Amino acid sequence: MSTNASAALKTAANDDIESAYTYHIEPATQGGCRYVRCETCGAECVPATPARLTHRPGCTEADA
């Protein structure tokens, strides 16, 4: 694993399906959970499930 705890995880499936989202890992001191970030509005969600993400007002991904 990268020493940069917030480095985006890349997978071919995620790139094809949800290109507006990036996947990350929290630092171990914060639990080490995988989370997802909307690159349009910056909202984040644990667990890494884009369908559960609450987008910020005005985010175009909220209606997608």
Contact call for residues 37 and 22 (beta carbons, < 8 A): yes
Cα dihedral angle (49, 38, 26, 5), rounded to 10 degrees? 130
Average pLDDT for 41-64: 92
Mean pLDDT over residues 45-64, rounded?
91
pLDDT, greater one: 18 or 51: 51
Residue 14: the pLDDT is: 45
The pLDDT > 70 percentage for the chain reads 70
For the beta carbon of residue 38, count every other beta carbon within 10 angstroms.
22
Burial (Cβ within 10 Å: 0-12, 13-18, ≥19) of residue 14: middle
Predicted confidence band at 22 (pLDDT cuts at 50, 70, 90)?
very high
